Structure 1
């Protein structure tokens, strides 16, 4: 059984997360713009906060500041990897944060006292949850049934190389993990309209992350003599055409299983529909499309126009206009198919489509004994939650581990309201104090339950 947490332990783990959040480890695609001193300070703080982890586990540095720990178990036959990342996204200085984004203040939230700051949810909460669980187990003299690896990347937010380096190290050492647990799902409250219990959503796959740039070129010139169909006008028209041409929708197997599992908890008229989700997939797909953007994104490849550039001055017609598109490629689709779809939607051969970053969807992990172990630990720590698989919309470092492991699961063991989920990569990110404590319990329970 998972151990309870005393008030002293609670104060200790909260202070550890505060210490990490206060160090602004912001990653950037340009290495010259990364504050390496902040990352150096974070690694030193990690060692100070988790001395047993650093003294008792074997440590390998990966990338610039990534960490890969090995905790030898009674067996190395089915090793397990617990993952998180140390970097965070930048702060929007104009966003209306209620508390300083790197202050890690303890203040009230709608669900009780919480730690406020960038990285509490994404993803230093998981770093602390994992390390504190291991620290407590080492203190108790526990030896895991299987080898446990801790992989902490330092550049996940910019699709960096640390996770790949960790995979390369494991591959060279002949390690093929039984399963991997990374960030992703959560104990999601308010996940679906009409569903009262929270869902323990476990990502069994994730969409591919692809970045595309649309480029239109022309003569440019003085703004006093504009010509029709200049680069900016063609880019604007292309964006509108893409928005009006969504990708075909269909519900993949994990989504249908999610619907089946929540069927007993939806309003009575919907129960017969969702309980037969696997047999009436088209109807379920239509229902998800009507349920709002979060649910609709579970059914198709999505495209969002995120960046625009054109003229350098208000009185100059752009000679080159560009639009950046962020594409999340659904399971079953491909990057090549995405480009073909965009080309057909835009209907303008003068616009160039450049693939800046290519990421295919991850394989679907099986719902076998490894999944059931994760599921059972959710049931023990979060008795009110409905465990279920789902397709994760965002990207995680775990996608690289699918090269050496067929079971990559995405689950952060924290209760999150809809408002908290919306705060990730936005303002007012915060993690409840009690949620952090439960997260430590979950990681500890998972390690204790590893089978021989």
Structure 2
């Protein structure tokens, strides 16, 4: 799961504004005012209780199949049928592979369908300092605590709360609605790929796809008051590369200069000192333009001319903080180091794992080539590990699908500015880009910086109010598609 980023430091650009520059026009704001979403009939406390129950089922992902508690995953799937009986009576449900769920809610027409996505696997909690049992599903002071509260069981519950309420009132959507719930998103699994394969085999091309991603945040842009709802249009690529150096080894009492660990360290230092270049892209330009319309005075002028000031703005963002930096460049993170197994033995092999997130406009191949150039040492082997992917295509933001999602966000959060967004992480929805040009990534929750920081970390939580409004967003969307 994937957290939106913050922009900061942009005020320094105000003096550089040119009076004749044109505006970014590819991405449009949400449009005219919409009626606020109706939350009547949605049981906030009931939804919180159901989410708490599902948190208590520890559906923890692992890349090692033998380490997965398959009984917990099966129990989760069974409990869904019990918590949402009307949904399961009205919708067709099938299981794909080991546990991905695919539901079909038949609509009144044969128009292309809407796909709503979520995943019910969660990341481990080992090594984290939780203040509460992460799988107790505690509800305290209007907050649901536990692993998966936001990522991503909270979104799954918001979807099912909306569908259950609509089915109960006898509503039938205009177009088919499919629910695609993955069981292995956190380990880059195959559940979503199986769903895409099923759609392809059946000749189904979705009208739009909506998955986790951006959220409703406050303080995202300097000078922009209130909330900003960021809707992801694309996501960066991903790649893991292993750096390997070798040496003859021997006793640690007689080392030689330039051993395997030293050469590995030089390679890592070179990559750290020579990051990938910072460049603006269309999605970030659209985000800056949409949100910047609401900034005061000089800042508004800066944002309005972001296309002309792109190179300068890219450099400012690169220095504005780790998350803003990730918007404008390919990032390289050293996540693992390995050397000798003994304290008094020279390493015959030294290894480092690089976790890389590839910027729009670059590819796996171009990324690997630049790594080689920067390292500049043929004795450092680069092993490209399986599972890499180029950045996703950029989804359309000039069509009815985006306008409908943006309008639903505005209905649920009337005071929010709606803006496009670039996800710096990966999601299951990237697979649907193969069959749909309108894949959006938006988690309809109003979350604080502290709550975002708890994703994949200790003390993950979501307020009952945010969960309630998220269900309102989904229900409003379903009524309007």
Distance 2:344 2:216 in 1: 52
SS in 2 for 1:445: helix
Higher fraction of strand: 1
Structure 2 residue ranges without an equivalent (≥5)? 1-34
Q: How far does the alpha carbon of each residue in 1:238-290 deviate from its partner, in whole angstroms, 9 at most, with x for none?
A: 11111111111111111111111222444533221111112321122122123
The SS at the match of 1:297 is helix
**Which residue does 1:366 correspond to in 2?**
396
Instruction: Please tell me the root mean square deviation across aligned C-alpha atoms, in Å.
Output: 1.4
> Which residue does 2:62 correspond to in 1?
28
Matched residue, 1:395: 426
2-side partners of 1:38 and 1:168: how far apart? 26
Partner of residue 236, structure 1: 265
Aligned partners of 2:240 and 2:362: how far apart in 1? Answer: 15
Normalising to structure 1: TM-score of the pair?
0.96
Aligned residues of 1:216 and 1:320 also touching (Cα < 8 A)? yes
Answer yes or no: is the 8 Å Cα contact 2:45–2:464 preserved in 1: no
2:473 to 423, 431, 442: 442
**For 2:99 and 2:428, how far apart are their aligned partners in 1?**
15
Task: Name the stretch that deviates more: 262-271 or 438-447.
Answer: 262-271
CA distance in 2 between counterparts of 1:223 and 1:199 reads 56
Match of 2:417 among 378, 386, 389: 386
Q: Provide the C-alpha distance between the structure 1 equivalents of 2:417 and 2:283, rounded to a whole number of angstroms.
A: 14
* 2:456 maps to 1:425: yes
Distance 1:97 1:193, change over 3 A: farther
Q: How does 1:274-313 map to 2 (within 5 A)?
A: 274-313=303-342
Aligned residues of 1:185 and 1:411 also touching (Cα < 8 A): yes
- Structure 2 distance, partners of 1:302, 1:359, is 14
The whole-number CA distance in structure 2 between the counterparts of 1:58 and 1:258 is 38
- Kindly tell me the number of residue pairs found equivalent between the two proteins: 444
Alignment of 1:146-225 (within 5 A): 146-225=175-254
Q: Distance in 2 between matches of 1:235 and 1:54?
A: 55
Q: Whole-Å Cα distance in 2 between the matches of residues 244 and 381 of structure 1?
A: 44
Question: What residue is the counterpart of 1:98 in the other structure?
Answer: 131
Which residue in the other structure is 1:409 paired with? Answer: 440
Matched residues in 2 for 1:184 and 1:42: separation?
Answer: 23
Aligned residues of 1:191 and 1:418 also touching (Cα < 8 A): no
1:68 is matched with 102
Aligned partner of residue 174 in structure 1, secondary structure: coil
Unpaired runs of 5+ residues, structure 1, are: none
Shift in Å, 1:219: 1.3
SS of residue in 1 equivalent to 2:343:
coil
- 1:26 Cα deviation after fit: 0.8
Instruction: Kindly indicate whether residue 102 of structure 2 is the aligned counterpart of residue 38 of structure 1.
Output: no
